[in-house]
Amino acid sequence: MAAIPTTASGIAAAIASKQVTAREVIDSYLAQITARETDIHAFNLVTADAARAHADAIDADIAAGRPIGPLAGVPIAIKDNLCTHGVETTCSSKILEGWKPPYDATVVSRLRDAGAIMVGKTNLDEFAMGSSTENSAFGPTRNPLDTSRVPGGSSGGSAAAVAAGFAAVSLGSDTGGSIRQPAALCGVVGVKPTYGLVSRYGLVAFASSLDQIGPFSHSVADAALLTEVIAGHDPMDSTSIPKPAPSLVSVLGRGVEGMRIGRVADLPEGADADVLARLDAAFIALEKAGATIVDVKLPSLSYALTAYYLIAPAEASSNLARYDGVRYGNRVAANDMNTMYADTRAAGFGDEVKRRIMLGTYALSAGYYDAYYGKALKVRRLISNDFAAAYANADVILTPTSPTVAFPFGAKTDDPLTMYLCDIFTIPTNLAGHPAMSVPFGTGQANMPVGVQILAPTLGEEAMFKVAAVLESAA
């Protein structure tokens, strides 16, 4: 058997040219899962039998000369808040334990049509609420690079699955940084596309005006390929942009000559020195590649965290009201409806989810709506306006992805506010609806990876990926 490539595009090419079989690839990845999953806990469910059957079907198609998709045979891990027909989807919550959706999320369907093979459903902070994957009802995920440290969150399982070699690529969701932050902490590429570019049909909602689906990968090219596959208009999602998927793979070799790279002059404090040093190195690398570094100001950025933690919990409070033990999910038996409802939610939700539901309910309550939620929406508009002004002078903007490298387990669990600060650099783009991605760019403390975040205006994915490709080659 020939050596199995490490990238999705390499795997797909090797399978299509019959250098390796899809079954050989899947067996190799499943063996890696068997060897390390107990230590990492990237998955809530490993779909080994279904993956082998899918691989055999692809091999049969190739042998018969039937057409195959651009990701044929590529092992992919799917975050466990994306619906998979007949396969348990729990959001890492006891309240949905055992629930099997009757349909696939649109992104899952598109990946299957492209030939990608799902190897499992990945662990996450319960209902995607967290920055460390310590809030899962089924136990934490560990960082494959140092199992004493967190992988980030909420898509920690998806980031860890790629970093550990359990899957060539994976999907996560990003509400306030839940793809980019774990990508940075695990040393992989993570992309949050423009809001509406990728269908959210079949994504279990956390905060509907903020949620977005995107890929994790080892390379910028794989991230571009995966984004092309899952993007594009979907009539099943009312927020889907009526545009075809962008061409991203084709722009990767064009360089950054003449591009303007924004450096935030009033960047909020909080990033460690080692992280800022790598950001400075990224600016130097881009300048050497022909880009111009320009200073931009984002004065409202310091208010983004506060606005987010009013808007997101408010939307969560509304979205999670559907989990009542009546329509689906687990139910606690009781003598009357009100008691059943209260007991089901008390037993089914973890502490962080309860905390955010209570925050959101309070912000939406009579007498406080205008003072809190209404004011947060005004701040959101100011942030969008600041970005618009900045992008008048810059094609993209660079910031740290995470203020720190991966931190030890338990370091921030006693103080939720310190955990919330992990998302200080990622939240603003969710509020604005813009695309952003994290690219590994060297290491910091304890030799752990540092991610540089590339921000772009609405539908600015092409510029974002051009910069990412240059940073990747310079890292």
β-bridge partners, 408: 149
Instruction: Please count the CA atoms within 13 angstroms of the CA of 168 that sit on its side-chain side.
Output: 27
Pick the catalytic residue: 9, 178, 219, 240?
Answer: 178
Cβ atoms of residues 244 and 125 within 8 Å = no
100 is catalytic: no
Pick the catalytic residue: 154, 158, 173, 219?
Answer: 154
154 is catalytic: yes
∠ CA(109), CA(124), CA(25), 5° rounding? 55
β-bridge partners, 84: 87
Active site residues: 79, 154, 178
